[in-house]
Structure 1
Amino acid sequence: MKESRRADRRIQIEAAALAVLVEKGYAGTSMLEVAKRAKASNETLYRWYGEKNGLFAAIVKRNASAGLDQLQKALVDDGPLDEKLARFGASLLKGALSDSAIELNRAAMADPSGKLGASIAKHGRNTVVPMLTSLLKAQRSFGAFTDASDAAEAFIFLLIGDRQARRAIGQLPEPDMATCQTHARIATNRFLSLFGAKSPVPA
């Protein structure tokens, strides 16, 4: 199978998995049901994802991928920190507030096993925060913080706040990229103000 065709099939399978998850919850979702819904073979799902948790981990990774890509670029880029944070923040926020991310979080809250929540944490926040911490540590001339990890957590809080919770209870619509860029610039300015930087990003 060509790589482009494989990528398309993965998107179709993962969309089917989310649909089953919404209907049946994490415990009630089976690889067989997802395979039927996606019109794929059960063998293909196990070959590509390993098992159910691997399938949903792939969806979590896809949601976080744009933000992680921006962080990877920021780690090797010599540009200003404010621009790096604003680009990263917009990409991360778009993924974190997407319909698929919200459905995953809703299902995780209803999953007594905690497996889905653990996967979301592992491939989401627990991957993002250490990378952001590394970026802040590399900014030797920046900031009034003594702990880059605490500073990274502060930026995530300023960026996302209670937006995921409000999305989960139906009080916020899914934002477009322009809205995410605006929120990311505001969060960046507040973060830089809190930690003593002097280069605000136009909101």
Structure 2
Amino acid sequence: MGLKKQLGLGIMSAVLGLTLIGGGTYAYFSSSKTTNNTFAAGTLDLAVEPTTIIDVDGLKPDDSVIRDFELQNSGSLDIAKVLLETNYSVIDAEGNNTDDFGKHIQVEFLYNADKLDEVIYETTLADLKEMTPEAVNESVFLPAFGEKGLEAGSSDDLVVKFNFLDNGEDQNQFQGDSLKLEWKFNAQQAAGKEQ
């Protein structure tokens, strides 16, 4: 074996020895703890009771129908906004309609069963259908629920009055017609906060 190989093996042996010695000299105390943490999401659960708010027939111009329903927050999170989408379809019995039946059905949102004369908001079904859900929230639900919205585990009664408007003109085109109304209620949570 040559001198260079012997020298190389000697240096490598020295480095290996120093590494083993150095590694053994760094002894220290230690301690550790483990924590168990949980993140659980809340629930947003809006219910409407009853699910059929109105089902009447035999209406004539100038008739009114009052119905109440309950919005329930069955979830664990507060509901800040209730957004209402309105849609309806008219079944024209005679095929002679020249006007939208929804323009002749007035909707009055009232405060509650004890204050039936206090109107929160008044419009026609046709106009309500064209409103954005955000605008309905600001006009109807914000005044009804207040700034707090619908708190978790709570409910609120709403009263609606439907009026078949008598416009003083011939409304024969609506005889036998029916209007199928769909209200879709969408709940939005309150803003997040530091827990």
Normalising by structure 1, we get a TM-score of: 0.29
More strand by share: 2
Normalising by structure 2, we get a TM-score of: 0.30
More helix by share: 1
Which protein shows a greater Rg? 2
Higher relative contact order (CA 8 A, sep 6+): 2
